[in-house]
Structure 1
Amino acid sequence: MLVASTLAQAASAVMVHGPAFLIPTLHREGMSLPEAGLVAAAPSVGMMLALVAWGWVTDRRGERFVLLTGLTGAALAGLASVLVDGLAPLVVTLVLGGAAAASTNAASGRVVVGWFPPERRGLAMGFRQMSQPIGVGIAAVSIAVVADEHGVSAALWVPTIAAVAVLGLVAAVVLDPPRPARTAESADNPYRGSRYVARIHGVSVLLVVPQFVVWTFALVWLVQGRGWSPAAAGTLVGVAQVAGALGRMGAGYLSDVVGSRLRPLRWVALAAAATMALLGLAVGLELSVAVLLLVIATMVTVADNGLAFTAIAERAGPFWSGRALGLQNTAQYLAASAVPPLAGLTVTHAGYAAAFALAAIFPVVAAPLVPVDAERPLS
């Protein structure tokens, strides 16, 4: 069940993030960079538009239905993207693919939360949260190469085949977790009368900033600021992504051990603040330890995702967590979309050291907002 849920989310990541690796080929074939950027952004737009709606369907119809329906839609949209010709039809099919792939975000997480007991849930969710780097890695090593050698249409078979393959696995393996009887308390709106879930949303949005500053500018800083070759820089970034995936598992396991999702979440926020500040200082002083700090920052700044996701699902319950998780992801995607251009302006006018150091402010603000005192015992 855990592997199927993780691979479903990984297939979604291939669908959503894969078109970004088409940009070099699209540009070489005559498409302008803004047009190629529109193609790359199309699935993310579709995902943001559909996350809350899929969460609502998950609350009403269950996880298996949503995963099967969404992956089927993603496969059909992927097939359509292979067959169409022209910028507008390609963008439309990729928007639809992203919207369909959004189905896995809440549903696959709820499968994990529903089937794993509280004392093992953090580690299980940390494993599931490895799906994004897995999906991006699959896209990175396949789509760009296939597009370069065989064209864009051939490369778009990669997310299509991934969706079809995982669809079969989900159909064979995934069952809806058992639900408690619907009562007034269990079906109560978690946003009514409490700011607990809303505060976790806010904390997660703040913690997205250092994560995407590092993700966006790590490779270009290594190449431009340290004089590394693109191949060497890409290898280090890949290693850092693996470290980040393991960091998510480690944070989840820690939450199981201490019996709390939010205390480790606050620790991660403080660690992210310290790491980003030290990274900014080391880059400014041109110290060689900056490279090691970059890897550590990559690991630390993503460790919060599974903790916040699990905490929201546990508090919102089976009749509201789909919508709550949809809102969580939507807010994070919106914040993440603003980070690259704003951080790019900072780099342009003040340098990489300032961009990394300023990113430390956001986890500093986030740490006291984590509602540790309002957390309930794991159950």
Structure 2
Amino acid sequence: MTTTTAPRPTANRRAWTMLALGVAAQAAGTLVVSAPALLIPSLHAHGMPLPAAGLLAAAPTFGMVLTLIAWGAITDRFGERAVIAGGLVLTTLAVAAAWAAAGDTVLLGLAFLAAGMTSASTNAASGRVVVGWFPKERRGLAMGIRQMSQPLGVTLAAVTVPQLAETAGVRASLVLPVVLCAVLALLCAVGIANPPRPSRETAAAEQVANPYRSGGFLWRIHAVSVLLVVPQFTLSTYGLVWLVGLGWPTGAAGLLVGGAQFVGAIGRILVGAWSDRVASRVGPLRIVALSAAVVMGVLALVDATHLAAGAVFLVVATSVTVADNGLAYTSVAEAAGPFWSGRALGAQNTGQFIAASAVGPGVGALVAGLGFAASFSIVAVLPLLALPLVPRSDRSHD
């Protein structure tokens, strides 16, 4: 039997096209997952109890946790194109079902759950297609750009969903997610190509073997990411509340928190480019972890001493605490290899989503009992715990 070896990827025009489609697909998935939380005011105003509205808001995230690893396994087996395009088709149908069930709380919740389960397809697959099409020396930058999909999706949801729900009802607010997912499903089906990789028959035994059994590298990166996601979600969840407590008007505080997310997105790109320049993911990851501990400690000091310019410190802290995402994501994909990266990235996201879901009630209880200064100080300990877990050197199949 004739065998071939996959060519080394180069960052050509086709690679950038794959990146653009991956970012768009992930942004659409983020829009879908973010929309239910932004419907809470409208649902509550129309008589839905707040706990029920909160449960609806959590349904997509819970659905993602259920299916992330499974979607990764399907990506490993059938490739990125089928998973991204097919997953977006299923997401379109799930959101359309939510549109149809807008008057029934139970059915609406089940539809949102299904939307989360299907939109998880874009998470592992879009990252995997970026890693596959870009050479190692450009992946940090590419993955940093790919990580902008989350703030893009959240922003798109924030500027459309609440306003449409208030003026025209819940169904009107779900039209854009349906249309966007449907259009991107078509574009991805036509435009995405699976990156070149070795055939299973000719792959080295090391590449095919389960990377979780050949060392603790992936487990350590997963653990580091779980610890580092807590400061990130602490600020995204309670940054607005903290600013209002400092005397900021709610509207202005919301604009600042949104702006901080975009500054953080730019920071992800810069950190990714930095990792390419130094040819290391774990080195910058270690520095980012230490920096996250420092900025959370500074925020605690700002709150305790009522220092001026608290907004500036919040923007800096937000930028630092999100900077690890692309580094860890790229590191996981490179270490897992072409036949395991989908599952590994699914596991990476699953751990982060589980930890993130605990931030709301956990940090909320800390703030209620101890105040923001003490809470920020406790959260600052977690990046310090992550430091010794960061591997000393990178691992890659390239």
Normalised to the residue count of structure 2, the TM-score between the two structures is: 0.93
**What letter is aligned with 2:218?**
V
Match of 2:190 among 164, 172, 180: 172
Match of 2:164 among 146, 168, 187: 146
Per the alignment, in what secondary structure is the counterpart of residue 145 of structure 1? helix
Q: Distance in 2 between matches of 1:165 and 1:274?
A: 43
Answer yes or no: is 1:261 the counterpart of 2:281: yes
Displacement after TM superposition at 1:296 (Å): 0.5
Per the alignment, in what secondary structure is the counterpart of residue 186 of structure 1? helix
Aligned partners of 1:47 and 1:101 also within 8 Å: yes
Answer yes or no: is 1:42 the counterpart of 2:42: no
Question: Please, which runs of 5 or more residues in structure 2 have no aligned partner?
Answer: 1-17
Answer yes or no: is 1:88 the counterpart of 2:89: no
Aligned partners of 1:259 and 1:378 also within 8 Å: no
Aligned partners of 2:334 and 2:396 also within 8 Å: no
1:233-288 Cα distance to aligned partner (Å, 9 max, x none): 01111110111101110110000000001100011000100111011111110001
Answer yes or no: is 1:192 the counterpart of 2:213: yes
Query: Which shows bigger deviation, 268-277 or 162-171?
Result: 162-171
CA change 1:170–1:377 in 2 (3 A) is closer
Q: Distance in 2 between matches of 1:164 and 1:193?
A: 41
CA change 1:51–1:378 in 2 (3 A) is closer
Aligned partners of 2:82 and 2:189 also within 8 Å: no
**What letter is aligned with 2:112?**
L
Answer yes or no: is 1:12 the counterpart of 2:29: yes
Structure 2 counterpart of 1:292 = 312
Structure 2 counterpart of 1:128 = 146
Displacement after TM superposition at 1:171 (Å): 2.0
Aligned partners of 1:214 and 1:356 also within 8 Å: no
Q: Distance in 1 between matches of 2:395 and 2:41?
A: 50
Displacement after TM superposition at 1:76 (Å): 0.5
Q: Distance in 1 between matches of 2:342 and 2:366?
A: 36
Match of 1:222 among 229, 239, 243: 243
Answer yes or no: is 1:282 the counterpart of 2:336: no
CA RMSD of aligned residues (A): 1.1
**What letter is aligned with 1:166?**
L
Normalised to the residue count of structure 1, the TM-score between the two structures is: 0.98
**What letter is aligned with 1:370?**
V
**What letter is aligned with 1:104?**
T
**What letter is aligned with 1:198?**
W
Answer yes or no: is 1:71 the counterpart of 2:88: yes
| Runs of 4+, deviation exceeding 3 Å | 376-379
1:187-224 Cα distance to aligned partner (Å, 9 max, x none): 1101003000000000000001111111111101111x
Displacement after TM superposition at 1:377 (Å): 6.6
CA change 1:16–1:377 in 2 (3 A) is closer
Structure 1 counterpart of 2:121 = 103
Structure 2 counterpart of 1:302 = 322
Percent identical pairs in the alignment equals 54
Displacement after TM superposition at 1:172 (Å): 2.6
1:36-63 Cα distance to aligned partner (Å, 9 max, x none): 0111111111111010100000000000
Question: Please, which runs of 5 or more residues in structure 1 have no aligned partner?
Answer: none
Aligned residue pairs: how many? 377
Aligned partners of 2:334 and 2:395 also within 8 Å: no
